[in-house]
Amino acid sequence: MQEAYDVVVAGAGPAGLGFAREVASRSDYSVAVLERNDDLRENDKSTGGTFLEVVEGYDLPDHVVMAGTDSVAFEGPAATGRLDIEGYVLDFPALLEFLGREAAAAGADVHTGVTVTGPLLENGGVRGVRYRSLDGESGYDRERDLRASVTVDATGPTATLTSDLGFFDRGTAQRGIGLEFEAEGRYETEGTMLFRFDHSVAPGGYAWTFPAGDGVFKAGVCWVDDFRAVHGSDATIHEHVERWVESDPRWQADRVRAKHAGEVVSNNSLDRRADDGFLAVGDAVSSINPLFGEGIRPGMQSAEMAADVALDALDAGDVSRERLAAYERRWREEKGRAWTLQRVVGELLYDFDADQQDRFVRKVDGLSPAATERLRTYELSFRDLVGLYPFAPKDLVKVPRLMRHL
């Protein structure tokens, strides 16, 4: 590995690789991506449900797309709703492999088996990273420095650099987990991304079943730890997914061919994204949507915004915090305000009782085409959100707790 690059990206998820591809393909700046896994495909946690902005916006080839869908179904314990929303289910490891190959073809050095351990701090700014990797000759795990004009944290929920730099308080982060089975078999919900809000299936979260190509589907459960504790049984998430897969007659798994799992963290770093010589993208700064946990589209969009700003800053020879904060402002403008509001709504949603879950689903079912599009793009107005909210007096006691997000 070289001793210095113009840009060093920690983490090779969709956000880090998207950033590297963008910068390498639009400039001659030297770019290195450091990924702790030995293979990009090992980051295999995600269902890969996404939308046109990702598939067309980032020129994904057909082999990355496992299935297309034309509707989104919402279910409560006793209610159903359906919206005409087109979507796609991606092969997540194939997405990473594709982005990695594209970034490398554009000139980026993508290094696997390299763990970033912390930022390299000098004169009040970030000047690169410290990292560990196996030394080819000695076989020893050695720590070294890698210098860069711009350092990017794209380490996902691990948030290796942003947590070290104090971008957020780990203690206040809201944590959740998700697990899904990718199964071969029969399913009747073809063409639909199905979400079920029902604490008996997914306490404090939701369950989903998405098509994933001919005779293949993905079915999983996720929850927010705080609300799982309130609504949950003693069953593990693995037991919940098994039950979801086995007990619903609309699908039948003949063979579970893969399991995908991971952590989702929503922290209070929403508006803090830049520092002197430093940018953070994707889930390293909670770009994931706090309402439904969709993270690929916003993560890649954050990477694109950050790459625009990084290229301007490098061209101007000025990577100061003032200059790089243009990215923070753009994020705030385009996503941050909506994300703040939706964190509040998400906190209510995953704590709804069964009656509220059903009322919510019926309200979603009644959305106009224009409001449906605002839901898809997370541009719901305050009025839309109030309209969707199934009020219950018990929620009034939550107000002081919810205010912390504002």
Q: Does 294 bind ligand FAD (CB under 6 A)?
A: yes
Indicate the SS3 state at residue 193: strand
Query: Judged by CB under 6 A, which stretch of 97-105, 142-150, 157-165, 315-323 contacts ligand FAD?
Result: 157-165
Q: How far, rounded to the nearest angstrom, does the alpha carbon of residue 3 sit from its chain's CA centroid?
A: 31
Query: Judged by CB under 6 A, which stretch of 47-55, 61-69, 341-349, 383-391 contacts ligand FAD?
Result: 47-55
Give me the residues paired with residue 279 across strands: 152, 274
Within a 10 A sphere around the Cβ of 243, how many other Cβ atoms? 15
* Among residues 43, 69, 162, 342, the one that binds ligand FAD under rule CB under 6 A: 43
Instruction: Print burial letters for 306-340: b (CB count within 10 Å at least 16), e (below 16).
Output: bbbbbbebbeeeebeeebbbbbbebbbeebbebbb
Nearest to 117 by CA among 240, 200, 34: 34
124: left (phi over 0), alpha (psi -120 to 50) or beta: left
* Among residues 22, 248, 275, 283, the one that binds ligand FAD under rule CB under 6 A: 283
Q: What is the largest CA-CA distance in the chain?
A: 67
Q: Does 22 bind ligand FAD (CB under 6 A)?
A: no
Could you tell me how many residues of this chain bind ligand FAD (CB under 6 A)?
Answer: 42
Q: Which of residues 203-242 bind ligand FAD (CB under 6 A)?
A: 220
Token pair for 76: 């409560």
Encoded amino acid at 42, one letter: E
Q: Which of residues 296-355 bind ligand FAD (CB under 6 A)?
A: 296-297, 299
Q: How far is CA 268 from CA 41, 250, 279, in A?
A: 29, 39, 16
* Among residues 7, 20, 23, 34, the one that binds ligand FAD under rule CB under 6 A: 34
Q: Which helix (H) or strand (E) holds 99?
A: helix 92-105
* Among residues 155, 163, 266, 301, the one that binds ligand FAD under rule CB under 6 A: 155
Residues 6+ apart with CB under 8 A from 362: 76, 79, 81
Q: How far apart are CA 324 and CA 311, in angstroms?
A: 10
* Among residues 116, 280, 291, 349, the one that binds ligand FAD under rule CB under 6 A: 116
Q: Which residue, 51 or 251, has its beta carbon nearer to ligand FAD?
A: 51
Q: Does 50 bind ligand FAD (CB under 6 A)?
A: yes
* Among residues 4, 6, 25, 37, the one that binds ligand FAD under rule CB under 6 A: 37
Q: How far apart are CA 29 and CA 32, in angstroms?
A: 10
* Among residues 47, 69, 133, 192, the one that binds ligand FAD under rule CB under 6 A: 47
* Among residues 20, 21, 24, 36, the one that binds ligand FAD under rule CB under 6 A: 36
Taking the complex as a whole, the smallest distance from the CB of residue 394 to ligand FAD amounts, in Å, to: 30
Q: How far apart are CA 140 and CA 133, in angstroms?
A: 8
Query: Judged by CB under 6 A, which stretch of 33-41, 77-85, 327-335, 352-360 contacts ligand FAD?
Result: 33-41
Q: How many CA atoms lie within 13 A of 79 on its CB side?
A: 17
Give me the residues paired with residue 274 across strands: 279
Token pair for 31: 């770019």
Q: Does 264 bind ligand FAD (CB under 6 A)?
A: yes
Q: Which of residues 159-188 bind ligand FAD (CB under 6 A)?
A: 160, 178, 180
Query: Judged by CB under 6 A, which stretch of 67-75, 291-299, 314-322, 355-363 contacts ligand FAD?
Result: 291-299
Q: Which residue, 152 or 356, has its beta carbon nearer to ligand FAD?
A: 152
Token pair for 236: 């593990």
Residue with tokens 């459960």: 221
Taking the complex as a whole, the smallest distance from the CB of residue 96 to ligand FAD amounts, in Å, to: 7
Within a 10 A sphere around the Cβ of 385, how many other Cβ atoms? 17
Token pair for 155: 């380490």
Query: Judged by CB under 6 A, which stretch of 28-36, 60-68, 75-83, 340-348 contacts ligand FAD?
Result: 28-36
Q: Does 282 bind ligand FAD (CB under 6 A)?
A: yes
Q: Which residue, 203 or 295, has its beta carbon nearer to ligand FAD?
A: 295
Q: How far apart are CA 4 and CA 25, in angstroms?
A: 19
Taking the complex as a whole, the smallest distance from the CB of residue 36 to ligand FAD amounts, in Å, to: 4
Q: Which residue, 115 or 151, has its beta carbon nearer to ligand FAD?
A: 115
* Among residues 7, 21, 23, 45, the one that binds ligand FAD under rule CB under 6 A: 45
Contacts to ligand FAD by CB under 6 A: 10-16, 34-37, 43, 45-50, 115-116, 154-158, 160, 178, 180, 220, 260-262, 264, 282-283, 288, 293-297, 299
